[in-house]
Chain A
């Protein structure tokens, strides 16, 4: 094989929270996410290693605790590692372990070792371990394990060059004696291997062992064979697995007793001391509450300054372009379609950036796992696990990564409930809708005590979303039958100072992904909307004559205003909006809002863009979205269109409806069930419609 054209494929494997992603960033210099709670690495990521003598493709796999998969995430990784015949199968593995947690990390290493794939063992966090008095005799360890071992510190780049050297070197591996099974178990597995006679090598006892003990995906015939064998030989799968774990730990203990010395004089370290405060039965929860409250206030008032600037900037840009370019259809498309639409996306970059910044810090520092611990008891009452809190908090930013993050939840019922309720949480796409509407009913400069009233209103909406999430989860818990026993077993990471580079890379990634994904949809809808709003049937084309003959007495200016509103009413867009008006009228919406609701079916944030496009076409002057909406008056009643009742009704509608096609798609992908995907969409739509209906009818 030609080295220059065929890169070596190397995969990074290891337990969660051991700095695997930081190492990946260090090796590839590629912008990637990293975090301090299980499940940040959702899909495998691929990068090219920098500054090495040959081309290396590095694959970062999600962290796993065992080769006996328990969660969706682990299932995927184990399947990938077992499928040796796949074309993308790695040539080599780097197993990353933490020096402070060697015993348990080596357990996973020991399991992976039996795959007989060339392995490099990278012992990370050696700087921290040194401070803890952990001394590793690396030469002895190399002799015992018979593989390349390197001590590294991914954060400080220690040992990275040595690791790169090992990565480039050619490497083979011999199979070793089976120490994880007893004699009689080994012969049973040989029997199974010849009985099954599958595509695994007959001598690959480990592959057969995993197939026999785990819930792997098998064809129906294979599954029947496996079950027959288990029954005929009276095999207790759980006992077989537990015994193998005990034997592996025995093996590791003998190695570690000869190679690692721990000076236990440092009994209370920083993490233990911090946990006394953060996990305190009273203060722990108060701190958690304060952190959440801080996030909401930061999102609102901290972000409001750049947002006001952006809002004004886009209004000015429209005016500027309008004055600069000659009058015409293209200019109008720019100033009334594209620019306001684009502004609708850009305006909430500050909020998303702040949100992801704070989340990344929480994750990187290790606090996120403490939240899991603090909330597990409460979440269980609602049919979820403490681990559901991670998807739920991410759901406050965006439901899509949140639903994917639910993969770390081991129990399928807890996972399904989490997926079904997560989109009820206030995601960042709702923020622009909320911000625009709140601004219409709560004055800017109003303060309640020291807090900004608009911030409090936003917080109330967040709380409403959280409340509804729990109510629906509780209902689902009552309806759905428990599957198998749920459990929570997790490692609590050390508290670490968040690495600014990791945090910023993550913020940048999320903001970029948001702008790109939302931007595409919003700009496309803005253009379609504009075209639909500026074209129409005969009534639209004859607008000038109709108005001029019917309102002959009015001045030319007054006639112009009437013509433009007559035009939009009779445009294709107006006809569509009026068609659905009867359904939306009880909620207090006119046909223009109806159009915004239709267009934002694809993505909620389109609402603001649509509203600004529709009203921009309708009015002559350039002004900010907010002022434009404030000035909008219902022609029949003379009252503002965006009165209190309509605004509250809209807020509730957007709080509960699943107006995000990407979420629908990801729910389908993750549940592989059309039934649950439809249930989610339907229950949320009904919830939205009826709560908006009740609110409007009570308030108007």
Chain B
């Protein structure tokens, strides 16, 4: 028996190492992501108080949520460090959902008047851009020339669709608390956002589905504004619209 064998055992040793390495990476990521999930849940819980908080008391609430998001920032920083050691899209699906929820809380807080930035001062009804979100979490956004951790456009857009559904709830609850102006702010904002989604050429995927659902949030807010207008409880909504525009 002289010659070659079927296979070089090294092939399988190396495959074995690769699989084990991948499993280890996934476990590390899972642990980080679980911590992030908890931090996101804290911020979400705090934010849910907005539905029972009059506008005058937003600053106190914002302060608390900002602190909770500070915790997210630290964990996302850790995630970024670990994830950047590996091809980004190999593991991206593991954290994408959680990062989306985190972004939603940051967008929400900025909308309420939190996270003042040099480029975009704090204001009720302000939309934190993707770049703003990057600044809040101190991670890159929409990286194209480098394989490292970042926040993607899709994650940001999906986070926006989560946000609109809560805004429509806020429109209703603000009326209950006697704030008849906030629904108008929300109405303008959410309509413009919906118009923005209409600009996209979406494929038949999750983003399409979620962007399509934004119209129901728009409708809910419109109904609130209609009820208020019908009863003469607000200035004419068109005035509020132009106010928002010039403020933009």
Q: Do the two chains belong together in a single complex? A: no
Interface of B with A (CB < 8 Å)? none
